[in-house]
């Protein structure tokens, strides 16, 4: 079971809202997640975000690989 930390789309049509989740690599983008780590709202003047860094570090230590987008959000 290989795990990844990536974004999943939420919200209604035309709104860019995402959840930062831990899930299996082979699952669908909007499928069931193992755990939700936070959220991200993309906007024209930047984005709002909230990430639980303690849980993020825990999953990275367990072997979960973050996507490039998630890596940029954490920095």
DSSP class per residue in 12-74: STT--EEEEEEEETTS-TTS--SEEEEEEEEETTEEEEEE-HHHHHHHHHTT-EE-HHHHHHH
pLDDT tens across the length of the chain (75 residues): 699 999 998 888 888 899 999 998 887 767 788 899 999 998 767 788 999 999 999 999 999 999 999 999 998
Could you tell me which CATH class the domain 3-67 is placed in?
Answer: alpha beta
Give the residue extent of every domain in the chain.
3-67
Does the reported pTM lie above 0.75? yes
Q: Is the distance from CB of 22 to CB of 31 less than 8 angstroms?
A: no
Q: Is the distance from CB of 38 to CB of 53 less than 8 angstroms?
A: no
């Amino acid at each position: 079971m290989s795990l990844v930390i990536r974004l999943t789309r939420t919200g209604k049509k035309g709104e860019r809202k995402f959840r930062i989740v831990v899930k299996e690599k082979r699952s669908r983008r909007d499928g069931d997640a193992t755990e939700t780590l936070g959220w991200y709202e993309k906007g024209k003047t930047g984005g709002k975000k909230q990430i639980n860094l303690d849980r993020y570090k825990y999953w990275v230590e367990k072997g979960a690989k973050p996507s490039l987008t998630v890596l940029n959000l954490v920095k």
